[in-house]
Amino acid sequence: MEGGLSSFWGPVTAAEWCEKNYVYSSYIAEFFNTISIVPGILLALIGLINALRQRFEKRFSVLHISNMILAIGSMLYHATLQRMQQQGDETPMVWEMLLYFYILYSPDWHYQSTMPIFLFFYGVGFAVGHALFSFGIGFRVHYVILCLLCIPRMYKYYIYTKDVSAKRLAKLYVATLFLGSICWLADRVYCEEISCWYFNPQGHALWHVLMGFNSYFANTFLMFCRAQQREWDPKVVHFLGFFPYIKIQKPKSQ
């Protein structure tokens, strides 16, 4: 949406959201959509520190790093509203879903080396294709399909998990996804009406905050499930009584 200040980055070449551009700074196009990503980066950093400190498998460190890369790409996109930066947001979204697919399905995959090789080349192929052809609506459909492919496995992990605190993490994951999706749709579908309000609730910025927590809850739940598979005696503990993270006890042989 058009704003007041001049643009440092030039004319808008990417998709815009329901926030006036360059209201607070000529360097930041969508101010609230940009700063609302910071909590997600901090949560991914906390997850990364916990994964490294307790020597979880490298896949979880890579997952937390991918969350941060995606968040930084999204910040650059909303700060500049340039097509190249938008692709720098969308391509890591696909890479992240491929990582989730690997973490969810690899434990029962009979040919261990084939899955990461296939997913790697699939991710590279998508990045090249998206850079050349800008898939647009095709990107959204593709991303939704990847998300849907992960749901059955996530549900299986949920029903086989007996720990009440771990199940609560999964419920928080679903709740933040549901609330975030409502915010995203409202911002996208009802922007014309919202623009006439005295106060803009910044639905897309709320989506960013909720998705930051959503990723953290998903990652923490998956870390618990994987630790159970490895018989590491995982427990969900809470920092200051409310912030959840996973604590494990590996056998001495490991």
Residue list, annotated binding site = 17, 19, 21, 30, 78, 204, 208
On whether the CB atoms of residues 4 and 69 are closer than 8 A, the answer is no
Sequence-separated (6 or more) residues with CB below 8 Å from residue 212? 37, 39, 40, 41, 42, 43, 44, 71
- State the Rg of the chain over Cα: 19
On whether the CB atoms of residues 61 and 50 are closer than 8 A, the answer is no
Triad 146, 151, 153: Cα angle to 5°: 110
Distance, CA of 193 to CA of 110 (rounded, Å): 53
Q: Is the dihedral of CA 111, 117, 121, 124 positive or negative?
A: positive
Distance, CA of 236 to CA of 194 (rounded, Å): 40
Question: At 39, which helix (H) or strand (E)?
Answer: helix 38-53
Residue positions forming the annotated binding site for Ca(2+): 17, 19, 21, 30
C-alpha distances (whole Å) from 25 to each of 28, 36, 37, 198 are 5, 16, 17, 21
